[in-house]
């Protein structure tokens, strides 16, 4: 299939964050897929450590201004954008003063995970999907990277399944070994629940551990990519149990075409 529209929802992208396996893929994969003749959109959180001046971020006024309600509290959604000139690629940033203006990514200076990481990931995913709706841009594939994007498959398959922007969208989820310790807040399932999402849908995250979030993402995705070679065996076994189309860890050379062929395979598979 040619001229695919691919939406990337990434936990981290270099050069905005330090290089890691995930952030490098977040940077090079969209560029490579675009250079194959496809149309892309790329999103990540605007963590407080992202230097706006150095990276030339600016607010997109026409996309900002919406409020998202999480746990009965309104949170303003701000959209910013920057360009990676050498790649001819734009990156959209989801921003909010309450969630993303601290100078750390997911944990504080003492190495403790932020208590509100549950609300931060909810805000991020809902912010991405609402912004794509505003863009009136219907992706063929949504490719999610990292546990911070793990709610996207659930929202797309349940809360947004009847929305014309996403009604024909297939979801690919990349599982990485990077995760969080313990569990998110116990009220996490309640905060996720919106129209279209039932208690049964949320049963997998009654205990909101990282493994369980990843399992839920696998369940609601159409295809799985194991993004590194240290994936928890419980997750590879679960994907196999559900008979999800999947591909394993890849060598750096040639992986973009391999992913592109995987997208085609997913698009040609009946849901």
pLDDT value of residue 251? 66
Summarize the confidence of residues 110-122 as an average pLDDT.
Answer: 94
Mean pLDDT, the chain, whole residue set: 94
pLDDT value of residue 102? 92
pLDDT value of residue 229? 77
pLDDT digit string, tens, across residues 84-107: 988 889 999 999 999 999 999 999
pLDDT value of residue 230? 82
Q: Which H or E run contains 118? A: helix 117-135
Domain count, the chain: 1
8 A C-beta contact, residue 213 and residue 179: no
In this prediction, what percent of the chain has a pLDDT beyond 90?
86
pLDDT value of residue 183? 95
pLDDT value of residue 271? 62
- Domain carrying residue 94: 5-267
CATH number at residue 72: 3.40.50.2000
Summarize the confidence of residues 193-217 as an average pLDDT.
Answer: 96
pLDDT value of residue 85? 86
- Distance (Å, whole) CA 243 – CA 246: 9
pLDDT digit string, tens, across residues 211-247: 999 999 999 999 999 977 788 899 999 999 999 999 9
25 φψ region: left (φ > 0), alpha (ψ -120 to 50), beta (else): alpha
Summarize the confidence of residues 247-253 as an average pLDDT.
Answer: 77
Confidence grade of residue 27 (pLDDT, cut at 50, 70, 90): very high
Summarize the confidence of residues 20-34 as an average pLDDT.
Answer: 94
pLDDT value of residue 270? 74
- Distance (Å, whole) CA 220 – CA 223: 9
CA 230 to chain centre: 20
Whose tokens are 């194991």? That residue is 226
Contact partners, residue 1, CB within 8 Å, separation at least 6: 140, 263, 264, 267, 268
pLDDT value of residue 232? 87
Three-state secondary structure string covering 24-70:
HHHHHHHHHHHHCCCEEEEEEECCCCCCHHHHCCEECCCCCCCEEEE
């Amino acid at each position: 299939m040619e001229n695919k529209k691919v939406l990337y929802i990434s936990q981290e992208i270099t050069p905005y964050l330090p290089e890691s396996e995930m952030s490098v893929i977040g940077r090079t994969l969209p560029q490579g897929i675009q250079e194959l003749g496809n149309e892309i959109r790329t999103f990540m959180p605007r963590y407080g450590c992202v230097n706006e001046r150095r990276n030339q971020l600016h607010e997109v006024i026409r996309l900002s201004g919406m409020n998202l309600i999480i746990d009965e509290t309104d949170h303003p959604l701000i959209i910013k954008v920057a360009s990676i000139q050498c790649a001819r690629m734009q990156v959209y940033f989801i921003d909010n003063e309450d969630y993303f203006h601290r100078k750390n990514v997911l944990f504080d200076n003492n190495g403790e995970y932020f208590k509100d990481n549950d609300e931060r990931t909810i805000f991020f995913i809902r912010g991405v999907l609402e912004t794509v709706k505003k863009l009136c841009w219907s992706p063929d594939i949504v490719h999610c990277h990292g546990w911070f994007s793990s709610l996207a498959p659930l929202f797309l398959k349940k809360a947004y399944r009847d929305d014309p922007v996403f009604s024909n969208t297939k979801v690919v989820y990349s599982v990485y070994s990077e995760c969080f310790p313990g569990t998110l807040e116990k009220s996490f399932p309640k905060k996720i629940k919106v129209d279209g999402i039932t208690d049964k849908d949320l049963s997998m995250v009654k205990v909101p551990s990282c493994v369980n979030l990843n399992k839920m993402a696998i369940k609601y995705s159409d295809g799985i990519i194991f993004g590194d070679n240290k994936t928890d065996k419980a997750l590879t076994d679960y994907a196999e149990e559900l008979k999800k189309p999947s591909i394993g860890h890849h060598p750096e050379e040639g992986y973009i075409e391999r992913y592109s062929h995987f997208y085609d395979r997913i698009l040609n598979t009946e849901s």
